[in-house]
Amino acid sequence: MLATSPAFKQNATEALGNPSLQKALHRTRPQSSGKRAAAVAALPEFERLRDIGRDIKDHTLAHLDFYLETYADNVERAGGHVHWCSSADDARDAVLQICRRADARTVTKGKSMVSEELAINEHLEKHGITPIETDLGEYILQIRGEPPSHIIGPAFHLNREDWEESFRKVHTDLPADRVFHERRDIMTEARVLLREKFLAADVGITGANFLIAESGSSVIVTNEGNGDLTQTLPRVHIVLASIEKVVPTLEDATSLLRLLARSATGQDFSVYTTFSTGGRRPGDLDGPEEYHVVLVDNGRSGMVGTEFHDMLRCIRCAACMNHCPVYFAVGGHSYGWVYPGPMGSVLTPALIGIDKAANLPNASTFCGKCEGVCPVKIPLPKLMRHWREREFERHLTPAIARANLGLWAWFARRPALYRLATRAAAVGLGLMGGKRGRFTKLPFAGSWTDGRDLPAPEGDTFFARYAHAQRKAKP
């Protein structure tokens, strides 16, 4: 996927003025945090499980080479094949070769963010193979030629009208005057059409939420069941998985699964959690004959041992974006690449380069909500700060921002002056803010106040208030 991350600011401005997107964001925002909160409240052990989840991932990453080799050996033992791929190109080619050997004409696909990252669909199409997305959200995005805007609810930015319009446009075999009474009618139309595709496909491609070293299994988690149909019906199953998905044992995966659905959708457990190990066994009446794992690095090994190492713990639950005020203001497409929200702001620069994604780590208010809900306790704000430092060091920060930072530093080194200036500003802005207590417009900050109001300071500076409280506390 071509990154438009450098245009984040422009993307964000457009998103703020897009009524259809804003409607979808307003609809989704209250649910996305409320459901998780209810699921977490119902499991008293949740906080302790987060520590366990973090520790399992840390243990695995500290021995990643060992667990990957163990995993790969066990896949082969179960009759599967592992294709190690350093780069996106390697992975695309590995997938294409497997499809070609299988004489594939159509390929069904379960939801996979790694597939988006590698742009598998474009590659297959270029070589005459038709990929068909089967996750309902991914299906409509494929029809509309749009990228996903969320890592688990890829099409949440669309409204019902968009679904109906797109279905009418491409499902031309159906009566043009049919009526969609409910959302369910839209879903049923897709169910019937995709059922034929599942049955006709030669190859099924899924992602993996986890890889299990002890058994050589890949795990997918879905609610629709499309991933299972994708990997059960065609003759060949290809698993696309990045290297950090491996965990040692079924017990390790189970502990992480207790965190995943609750953090993601607020379910106690997803509807289908499926463990696949090799191809069809003697006597089996169904299942794929061939089982391939395309094991993708694509920049991750370069994060090991760096200040971004912790990001490799991510289990792609989307809790961080579901709780992010920036994400819910501008939506997922503004981030300009596969992974949006706080996790994307850390991961995208690592995978495509900070020079192409310097805006993303700045798209944060540092409210800390993301770290507070992350099931594996990734310190996302700290990691974004690391990127800001790298951006500054590499002189990628715009001149104006550098100049302002320099000005701030000059004052900060002169405490008396600093206090005087901030006090004057606080009191002045407080008076100017008047009764309303906020600014809808400010000189030199037009692009900031276009999207939101600036609250006016209420009273004195922090320093002054702190000193005052200290004096009062003394006997």
Please choose, out of 7-15, 68-76, 99-107, 366-374, the segment that lies near other proteins by the rule CB under 8 A. 68-76
Contact status: 318 vs ligand SF4 (CB under 6 A): yes
- Token pair listed for 71: 């995993």
Contact status: 62 vs other proteins (CB under 8 A): yes
Contact status: 43 vs other proteins (CB under 8 A): yes
Contact status: 383 vs ligand SF4 (CB under 6 A): no
Contact status: 18 vs other proteins (CB under 8 A): no
Contact status: 155 vs ligand SF4 (CB under 6 A): no
The interface with other proteins within residues 107-136 (CB under 8 A) comprises 134-136
Nearer to other proteins, 135 or 358 (CB): 135
Contact status: 376 vs ligand SF4 (CB under 6 A): yes
Contact status: 426 vs ligand SF4 (CB under 6 A): no
The interface with ligand SF4 within residues 242-271 (CB under 6 A) comprises 263
| Strand positions, DSSP E, 333-434 | none
**Three-class secondary structure of residue 131 per DSSP:** strand
Of 378, 383, 384, 456, the residue at the interface with ligand SF4 (CB under 6 A) is: 378
The interface with other proteins within residues 341-380 (CB under 8 A) comprises none
Nearby residues of 382 by Cβ (< 8 Å), 6 or more positions away:
371
Contact status: 208 vs ligand SF4 (CB under 6 A): no
The CB-of-161 to other proteins minimum distance in angstroms stands at: 10
Contact status: 315 vs ligand SF4 (CB under 6 A): yes
Of 99, 213, 317, 330, the residue at the interface with ligand SF4 (CB under 6 A) is: 317
Contact status: 40 vs ligand SF4 (CB under 6 A): no
Contact status: 284 vs other proteins (CB under 8 A): yes
Among 409, 400, 329, 396, smallest CA distance to 363 is for 329
Nearer to other proteins, 183 or 465 (CB): 183
Q: Which residues of 260-273 are buried (b: 16+ CB within 10 A; e: fewer)?
A: bbbbbbbeeebeeb
Angle in degrees, CA 174, 105, 90, rounded to 5: 125
With contact defined as beta carbons under 8 Å apart, do 291 and 300 qualify?
Answer: no
Among 133, 123, 131, smallest CA distance to 97 is for 123
Please choose, out of 61-69, 80-88, 372-380, 399-407, the segment that lies near ligand SF4 by the rule CB under 6 A. 372-380
Site string for ligand SF4, 328-347 (x = CB under 6 A): ---------------x----
Contact status: 302 vs other proteins (CB under 8 A): yes
Q: Which of the listed partners (other proteins, ligand SF4, none) does 317 bind, with a CB threshold of 5 to 8 Å by partner kind?
A: ligand SF4
Nearer to other proteins, 73 or 122 (CB): 73
Query: How many binding residues for other proteins (CB under 8 A)?
Result: 104
Q: Half-sphere exposure of 284 toward its Cβ, with a 13 Å CA cutoff?
A: 11
Of 127, 183, 402, 436, the residue at the interface with other proteins (CB under 8 A) is: 183
d(CA 194, CA 133): 9
d(CA 340, CA 151): 8
Q: Which of the listed partners (ligand SF4, other proteins, none) does 316 bind, with a CB threshold of 5 to 8 Å by partner kind?
A: ligand SF4
Contact status: 56 vs other proteins (CB under 8 A): yes
- Start-to-end CA distance of the chain, whole Å, equals 65
With contact defined as beta carbons under 8 Å apart, do 385 and 357 qualify?
Answer: no
Which long-range contacts (C-beta less than 8 Å, at least 24 apart) are formed by 120-123?
120/91, 120/92, 120/95, 120/205, 120/240, 123/92, 123/95, 123/96
d(CA 405, CA 385): 15
Contact status: 106 vs other proteins (CB under 8 A): no
DSSP string, 36-67: HHHHHHT-TTHHHHHHHHHHHHHHHHHTHHHH
Residues lying near ligand SF4 in the complex (CB under 6 A): 263, 314-320, 343, 374-376, 378
